[in-house]
Structure 1
Amino acid sequence: METKKFNNITVKDLVRKIFEHKHLFIVDARKTDDFDDWKVEGKNVEILNVPYAEVKESGIGGYLEKLPDNEDIYVICAKGGSSQKVAQMIVDAGYSKVFSVEGGMNAWSEHLEPIKIGELTSGGSMFQFVRIGKGCLSYLIESNGEAAIIDTNRMLAPYEAFISDRKLAVTHVLDTHLHADHISGGRKIAQKYGATYFLPPKDAEEVTFEFEQINDGDEYEIGGIKIRAFYSPGHTIGSTSFIVDDKYLLTGDILFIDSVGRPDLAGKAEDWVGDLRDTLYKRYKELTDELLVLPAHYMSIKEMNDDGSISAKLGVLYDKNQGLNIKDEGEFRKKVTENLPPQPNSYEQIRETNMGKLSPEEEKQREMETGPNRCAVS
């Protein structure tokens, strides 16, 4: 009699199910500490931690009553090995619809899903690349055959496939600031396509490579579309937002949907908190409420729109975002400098890599980025 075997599923297919709001039952086979720190999230995701090290010794029996009888079961681990063993245990216990997630949480962390945000006035569109496993958001603006990329992740293949499919000429690559939670792919993708790489100079005093400066009020034209730099310090001293086509406000790590940026990742919280408040409570206030805010990160799945995108009108955020509604300056300072979440994993090494001081191998880069993003105050 042939032994029944589990099936495999790619992270891309799993992400699509989450974006389509399918109910998913996930078994996470990693150690409990790793599971508690970071896990698959989704509006309709139910997840159970079943550590492989434990069931390898004592068997899966103690967890079977917690598994659904007539529902697909998706098993994930760190890299895709232990999940196969746990998935087979579940199949051997009599469950037939069991899937192992290929590549595990490593693949989950690195997947980028492009989502169309909206049209541009001179033709073309704004696209948001959602890195669901890390909460990173990057952007590709395409118009009349030209493209700009903002806050590029280090995984370049998804952008390259998108660019190839649409036969785009990349002319500008920009970072809103020197990132501390993920390694920027901006310089590499600019080199690949012969584009110009831009970085705010106040964040780049220790950068070891050549770049073009982003200064307040600078304008860039992409296929007839205007991108305007809007200096917005506070998360870093150089943080710069971009107003695209007078419709979209790319806020970097200054303003999120449910929170605001933290000012402490370069060890200068007390120096930068005043800049942060000035940006949020004065500079952004000068802008129209109708701008659609597109941040560089999100903190939880509850910030996600029905199509999987992350966005909200600026006026809506001034009504609903707690970080924009702290009237007392002392209370605001306390909120954004005390009791903050842990700093991102390897953030100092990531900053040095983004400065060009370090050149870690691919596996080391993956290890440095492991875990959730922690760029928001809460």
Structure 2
Amino acid sequence: MAIKKLTAKQITKKLMNKENLFILDVRNETDFTDWKIEGENIQHLNVPYFNLIDGVEAIMDKLPKDEQVLVVCAKEGSSVMVAEMINAEGVDAAYLQGGMKSWSEHLEPIKVGDLKDGGEMYQFVRIGKGCLSYMVVSNGEAAVIDSTRMTNVYTDFARDLGVKVTHVFDTHLHADHISGGRIIAEETGAQYWLPPKDADEVTYEYNALEDGNNVTIGHTTINIHPLYTPGHTIGSTSFVIDDTYLLTGDILFIDSIGRPDLAGLAEDWVGDLRETLYKRYKELSDDLIVLPAHFMIMDELNDDGSVGAKLGSLFVQNHGLNIEDEEEFKKMVTENLPPQPNAYQEIRETNMGKISPDEEKQREMEIGPNRCAVR
């Protein structure tokens, strides 16, 4: 009898529905501690595969007898073998198809809301990596913002909606994941936009995304107003869309704020970060719905799986927006930086067009959690 397999999409639905899930993770302890499948009702048991090669008898008393055990490994192979052994002991077991690599790459599209003139806003939740990207749709046209390297997800989604991608944006030069923006633009004939202050070293042509550049999607019904909001990078740019949504890139998250050090300039950029958060954003409407480029923890997901909250609420609830003393803010930011993202310098160089790693190398570069926020 074939061993059951669950896809990343199926597990995503379980997490968003807050279903119980018992995971036996057979990667080594370091990899498990660094990055794992997380959720409200998940239980974990981490036992490295090499401890189970001779059998699973020693761990059977640690596994639930009345619910399915999901076995997870890096690429799939080890989890299939362990799941087979557990099944042979009479316990229902399944494995994660494609392993943690598939978990890292899954994108879940969620409709965030309708726009005033008949358009729609979609958020793509990269559940295993914490990345968030967007598609604005209006009158047969679409714009993609902060896309991942899984470009077919966006182009297929646009095709299924019957719309043409005409503009692609990156809010900044990303350092934690590889952007698919240029590829989508090349495949669809769309215009690609990037903040020029982040583009000093890029090797390709782009449209300069600057204050005052209003880009229209559809028949003049949606205007995307970029706001120069440095801090995470020197060129970081936010968008106000339809006077309703504030896309903050990696400057402001729901539960934290962006880190200013991924170009090695934390001391130089922390002042820009404070000015963006405490002055530029303060001038905006409290009713704007903040849609960031990342989330840090599963608690940031709303009931429908989307990530977003009103700006006014964040000024009350987000600790990073409530530090009155400027020196205390700078100290909080610079002394609470998590480890740099895996391969972040190679990722930046890829996004600059300086290097062109193959697909497998790109996967390896991105493995692990996102680390764009101040802790």
TM range (shorter): over 0.9
Give the TM-score of the pair, scaled to structure 1: 0.97
Report if aligned partners of 1:76, 1:101 keep a CA contact under 8 Å in 2: yes
Q: Pick one of 183, 188, 192 that aligns with 1:188.
A: 183
Q: 2:67 aligns with which of 57, 67, 71?
A: 71
Identity within the alignment, % = 62
Structure 1 stretches of 5 or more lacking a match?
none
SS of the aligned residue for 1:262 comes to: coil
| Structure 2 counterparts to residues 129-168 of structure 1, below 5 A | 129-168=124-163
- The Cα of 1:94 is off from its aligned counterpart by 1.2
Letter paired with 1:143: S
Q: For 1:229, what is the secondary structure of its paired residue?
A: strand
Structure 1: how far apart are the matches of 2:180 and 2:262? 20
Residue identity opposite 1:321 in structure 2? N
1:42 aligns with 2:35: no
Q: CA deviation at 1:194?
A: 0.3
Query: How far, CA to CA, are the matches of 1:48 and 1:158 in structure 2?
Result: 32
Correspondence 1:1-378 to 2 at 5 A: 4-57=1-54, 59-95=55-91, 97-223=92-218, 224-378=221-375
List alignment gaps of at least 5 residues for structure 2.
none
Which aligned runs of 4 or more in structure 1 are off by greater than 2 angstroms? Answer: none
Contact 1:174–1:199 under 8 Å retained in 2: yes
Q: Residue 353 of structure 1: CA displacement?
A: 0.4
Q: 2: CA distance between counterparts of 1:84 and 1:157?
A: 28
Cα RMSD after superposing both structures: 0.9
Distance in structure 2 (CA, Å) of the matches to 1:369 and 1:220: 31
Q: CA deviation at 1:88?
A: 0.9
How far does the alpha carbon of each residue in 1:284-318 deviate from its partner, in whole angstroms, 9 at most, with x for none?
00000000000000111111111111111000000
Measure how far apart 1:5 and its partner are.
4.6
Cα distance in structure 2, aligned partners of 1:5 and 1:362: 30
What is the rounded CA distance, in whole Å, between the counterparts of 2:214 and 2:182 in structure 1? 20
Tell me the distance in 2 between the aligned counterparts of 1:320 and 1:282: 17
Distance 2:156 2:76 in 1: 25
Q: Distance in 2 between matches of 1:161 and 1:195?
A: 15
Which residue identity is paired with 1:7?
A: K
Q: Distance in 1 between matches of 2:50 and 2:154?
A: 37
- SS of match in other structure, 1:53: helix
SS, match of residue 76 in structure 2: coil
- Separation in 1 of the partners of 2:328 and 2:60? 49
Distance (Å, rounded) in 2 between the aligned partners of 1:219 and 1:158 = 26
Distance 1:62 1:340 in 2: 40
SS in 1 for 2:246: strand
Q: String of CA shifts for 1:336-373, please: whole Å, max 9, x gaps.
A: 11131100000000000000000000000000001000
Distance 2:41 2:310 in 1: 25
User: 1-side partners of 2:270 and 2:6: how far apart?
Assistant: 45
| Residue correspondences, number | 373
- Give the TM-score, by structure 2 length: 0.98
Give the Cα separation in 2 of the matches to 1:319 and 1:370: 34
In 2, the alpha carbon distance for the partners of 1:201 and 1:90 equals 55
- Deviation track 1:88-118 (CA, whole Å, cap 9, x = no partner) reads 11111111x2111110000000000000001
Secondary structure, aligned partner of 2:143: strand
Contact 1:5–1:91, Cα closer than 8 Å, also in 2: no
